Structure 1
Amino acid sequence: METSTREYLQKALSKNEFISYIAESNGEAISISGMVLFQRPPYLENLHGVEAYILNMYTIPEFRGKGLAKRMLKKCIDESRNSGVKRIWLHASKDGKHLYKKMGFTTKDSEMELFL
């Protein structure tokens, strides 16, 4: 798994198909996010088919409640807008749903989504 992930990230990062943000404190990662950009066939709400999937949003428990996840999510949304993304989607944890709703995501089946 580690080798496959490393190979994927090397390729995807070089093509700007995977974007990650990391917040650090004293040289240690305390909050992270990842986002995959991809092209799918067009549909009515997204005629260009460009989408983003947010994953691996995590903040170390002792740093929660300081706005780090919100800043990470905002960076993902801003990058999506700059990249022509029309739909961002994710699978939210119970703890994350409140933040995503505050940022405009809506629930659809087991996913949450935001159209830009």
Structure 2
Amino acid sequence: MLRTRPVESRDLDLICEHRQKMFQASGKPREEELAAMDVPFRDWLRPRLEDRSYFGFIVENEGEVIGGIGLMVIDWPPHPSHPQDDRRGYVLNMFVEPDYRGRGVATDLMKAADVEFQRRGIRYAILHATSKGRPLYEHLGWSGTTEMARQY
């Protein structure tokens, strides 16, 4: 039986593991890049879990963790997409174990995120989608934006 629970401080290692697996599944970063990110991400995440500025949900099947999603509320200037709000929701670290994909776990996690953002008064949220994740997000009403990036 599936159970969804809130992310807790004790989930630090689990979230770090999911983040590594999420990036590996995307096929983009090299192993060296993932390894270089590990300690800095862990150091970044720890205080945010403790102060609950990083929140989200974990899905378990009979005590076995099978997926999770991270959420944040980020400071952002008012924008045409949210002209009266100076915050955005941000979805990160969405991961479902391969054996459980295609069973609605990711959909349930995204719906839980929607409810939580609405509970916190967030009316606009963003995420970065892989090509594999994009169909799910589009099905749930998300749309692409004009975001670009540059590395220095």
TM-score range, shorter chain: 0.7 to 0.9
Query: Alignment partner of 2:144: what SS?
Result: strand
Say which of 118, 130, 134 aligns to 1:81: 118
Aligned to 2:73: 37
Q: TM-score, normalised by structure 2?
A: 0.64
Query: 1:50 — aligned with what?
Result: 87
Pick the aligned partner of 2:48 from 12, 16, 21.
12
Q: Report 1:37-116 matches (<5 A).
A: 37-46=73-82, 47-110=84-147
CA distance in 2: counterparts of 1:21 and 1:27, whole angstroms = 14
Preserved contact between residue 23 and residue 32 of structure 1 (Cα < 8 Å): yes
| Deviation of 1:8 (Å) | 3.0
Percent identity between matched residues is: 28
Unaligned runs of 5+ residues in structure 2 are 1-36
Counterpart amino acid of residue 83 in structure 1: R
SS in 1 for 2:71: strand
**How much has 1:3 moved relative to structure 2?**
4.7
Name the one with the larger helix percent.
Answer: 2
Q: Which amino acid aligns with 2:52?
A: N
Paired position in structure 2 for 1:25: 61
Give the equivalent residue in structure 2 for 1:114.
Answer: none
Task: Report the RMSD for the aligned CA atoms in angstroms.
Answer: 1.9
The one-letter code of the counterpart of 1:61 is P
Aligned residues: 111
Structure holding more strand per residue:
1
Supply the distance in 2 between the matched residues of 1:79 and 1:14 (Cα, whole angstroms): 18
Tell which deviates more after alignment, 102-111 or 62-71.
102-111
